[in-house]
């Protein structure tokens, strides 16, 4: 089938994107019944990247993402392909809060999709003034701007919903997920669904009404949660994928030093230790700044565009308490913090309330988030003990915490959150053009077209498909 004999594909990076790429390459090879050598290289001692679950003293801690979005189907589809239906877990609590003026305000659950599913929900919001509610309710009357190629997320939200609604609710809801600054993030790249709704329907309100009706026709549950987790933590997805990679040579603790293009169009991967690898196609799922270093000798333009993708550093602080030490009822999933609030955290998930099996009986597990673009120094320069203290001190007055935590675990993600700034999609088109002469080199991962688990899985699958099609043409 392949003119080159047994081709070799190397996937560099063992996070969720790389694992998905290797898994779907293996599946293509099995379906075709054709020999294919697949190697997965990971610089660290374990697979999974930011996806990891830790068991500690009866608590179950996700050190990175603790769930995935079901509106994007690729993670849910993969879990089902892997036989993990019994692991799928819906949240036990859906109510969440906003910290405004030092007080937690309940967010009507109809606002979870930004625009209320029922108009009266907006008027129940205690974190908005009467004028703020009135302006936000007029979103459907705001003229559409269909000719812009891109726009900052903050500018888009203020234009459509008004300044108060944008700053107090929409920006922490949307920009907070990306640890980004709302006036730098690209609306077209970060939330393409909402961006296209304005162009197609003239407003987000009309677009969401159409989407809701369509899902009801398709039989989707009216009040289904948009998020889902795994009973044994998101790390169980990594473990299951690793178990299924029987036809893949997985090499841990194997950093790549460089990539060379050979005269016949194949690739030479230099490793920091050991013999180099010869490959017919390479899928890079590493951070953009790492890929830039390796691609510099091949394309200065591609390297420059990759270097232009900025990254933010964040930290997740997991805190455990006795239940009697926390006065707040914790009836909900947690809270978000707008940038205007003078606290050192960006949000908190009440894990033991949101998901089953996260803490022993009569105990509480909380996940606190610190850091965002432009404020990386706290995460990058401070000791773990200080980060834990910042998290604990911020929570004490809000949740009426009266004791020190039973334990605190800090997981830092240094330069791990790519920032899709205005113009991101245009830069990706330039990047694709710069690499068009190298179809054997493929890029995938959170730096490009989606940072969440579903988008990373989709990109891994698409890269596997493109690598397979390239090999077929040789």
pLDDT digits (tens, 9 = 90+) for 425-456: 999 999 999 999 999 999 999 999 999 999 99
pTM exceeds cut of 0.85 = yes
The answer to whether residues 110 and 205 touch, using CB atoms and an 8 Å cutoff, is: no
Q: CA-to-CA distance for 299 and 305, rounded, in angstroms?
A: 10
Question: Comparing 226 with 245, which gets the higher pLDDT?
Answer: 245
Helices (H), strands (E): how many in the chain? 18, 20
Condensed to tens digits (0 to 9), the pLDDT of residues 393-420 reads 999 999 999 999 999 999 999 999 999 9
DSSP state, residue 178: G
Condensed to tens digits (0 to 9), the pLDDT of residues 338-358 reads 888 889 899 999 999 999 999
Q: What local confidence, expressed as pLDDT, does residue 326 receive?
A: 98
The answer to whether residues 236 and 68 touch, using CB atoms and an 8 Å cutoff, is: no
Q: Residue 416: which residues within 8 A CB-CB, separation 6 or more?
A: 50, 287, 311, 312, 313, 314
Residue 304 pLDDT more than 90?
Answer: yes
Please count the other Cβ atoms lying within 10 Å of the Cβ belonging to residue 264: 7
Question: How far lies 57's CA from each of 54, 60, 64, 320, in Å?
Answer: 10, 9, 19, 10
Please count the other Cβ atoms lying within 10 Å of the Cβ belonging to residue 210: 13
Q: What local confidence, expressed as pLDDT, does residue 325 receive?
A: 98
Q: Residue 203: which residues within 8 A CB-CB, separation 6 or more?
A: 139, 140, 141, 142, 144, 160, 197
Q: What local confidence, expressed as pLDDT, does residue 450 receive?
A: 94
Question: How far lies 200's CA from each of 41, 116, 158, 168, in Å?
Answer: 43, 19, 20, 27
- What are 298's two structure tokens? 């091949």
What percent helix, strand, coil does the chain show, rounded to 5?
Answer: 40, 25, 40
Closest CA to 202 of 143, 261, 125, 279: 143
CA 141 from centre of chain? 32
Burial class (CB in 10 A: 0-12, 13-18, 19+), 232: middle
Q: CA-to-CA distance for 379 and 412, rounded, in angstroms?
A: 7
Question: How far lies 276's CA from each of 254, 262, 271, 314, 442, in Å?
Answer: 11, 13, 6, 34, 19
Q: What local confidence, expressed as pLDDT, does residue 434 receive?
A: 97
Domains and CATH numbers, the chain: 8-49+233-309+420-473 (3.50.50.60), 110-221 (1.10.3110.10), 311-418 (3.90.660.20)
Per-residue pLDDT band at 146 (split at 50, 70, 90): confident
Residue 216 pLDDT more than 90?
Answer: no
Per-residue pLDDT band at 1 (split at 50, 70, 90): low
- What are 460's two structure tokens? 């891994």
Per-residue pLDDT band at 378 (split at 50, 70, 90): confident
User: What is 397-427 written as a DSSP string?
Assistant: HHHTB-S--SEEEEEEEEEEEE--BTTHHHH
Collapsing DSSP to helix, strand or coil, 334 comes out as: strand
Per-residue pLDDT band at 117 (split at 50, 70, 90): low
- Mean pLDDT confidence for 90-110: 91
- What are 292's two structure tokens? 């830039």
Return the exposure string of 316-342: e unless at least 16 CB atoms fall within 10 Å of the residue's CB, then b: bbbbbbeeebbeeebebbbbbbbbebe
Closest CA to 283 of 438, 72, 414, 51: 438
Collapsing DSSP to helix, strand or coil, 46 comes out as: coil
């Amino acid at each position: 089938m392949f003119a080159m004999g047994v081709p070799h594909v190397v996937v560099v990076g063992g996070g969720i994107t790389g694992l998905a790429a290797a898994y779907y390459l293996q599946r293509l090879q099995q379906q075709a019944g054709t020999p294919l050598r697949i190697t997965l290289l990971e610089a660290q001692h374990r697979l999974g990247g930011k996806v990891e679950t830790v068991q500690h003293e009866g608590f179950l801690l996700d050190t990175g993402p603790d769930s995935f979005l079901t509106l994007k189907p690729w993670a849910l589809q993969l879990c089902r392909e892997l036989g993990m239906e019994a692991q799928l877990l819906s949240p036990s609590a859906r109510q969440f809060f906003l910290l405004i003026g030092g007080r937690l305000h309940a967010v009507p659950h109809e606002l979870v999709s930004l625009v209320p599913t029922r108009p009266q929900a907006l008027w129940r919001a205690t974190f908005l003034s009467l004028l703020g509610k009135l302006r936000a309710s007029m979103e459907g009357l705001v003229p559409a701007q269909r000719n812009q190629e891109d726009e900052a997320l903050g500018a888009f939200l203020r234009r459509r919903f008004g300044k108060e609604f944008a700053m107090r609710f929409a920006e922490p809801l949307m920009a907070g997920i990306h640890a980004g600054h709302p006036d730098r993030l690209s609306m077209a790249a970060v939330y393409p669904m909402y961006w296209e709704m304005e162009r197609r329907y003239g407003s987000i309100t009309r677009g969401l009404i159409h989407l809701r009706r369509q899902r009801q026709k398709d039989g989707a549950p009216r009040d289904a949660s948009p998020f889902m987790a795994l009973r044994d933590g998101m790390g169980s997805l990594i473990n299951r994928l690793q178990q299924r990679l029987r036809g893949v040579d997985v090499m841990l603790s194997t950093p790549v030093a460089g990539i060379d293009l050979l005269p016949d169009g194949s690739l030479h991967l230099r490793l920091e230790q050991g013999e180099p690898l010869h490959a017919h196609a390479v899928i890079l799922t590493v951070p953009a700044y790492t890929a830039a270093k390796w691609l510099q000798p091949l394309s200065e333009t591609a390297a420059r565009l990759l270097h232009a993708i900025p990254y933010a550093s964040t930290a997740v602080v997991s805190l455990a308490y006795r239940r009697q030490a926390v006065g707040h009822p914790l009836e909900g999933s947690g809270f978000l913090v707008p940038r205007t609030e003078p606290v050192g955290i960006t949000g908190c998930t009440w894990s033991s309330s949101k998901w089953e099996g996260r803490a022993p009986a009569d105990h509480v597990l909380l996940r606190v988030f610190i850091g965002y673009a432009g404020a990386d120094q706290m995460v990058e320069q401070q000791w773990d003990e200080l980060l834990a203290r910042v998290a604990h001190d911020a929570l004490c007055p809000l949740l009426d915490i009266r004791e020190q935590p039973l334990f605190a675990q800090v997981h830092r993600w240094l330069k791990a959150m790519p920032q899709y700034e205005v113009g991101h999609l245009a830069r990706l088109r330039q990047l694709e053009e710069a690499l068009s002469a190298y179809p054997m080199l493929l890029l995938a991962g959170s730096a490009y077209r989606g940072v969440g688990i579903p988008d990373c899985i989709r990109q891994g699958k698409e890269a596997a498909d493109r690598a397979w099609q390239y090999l077929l043409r040789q």
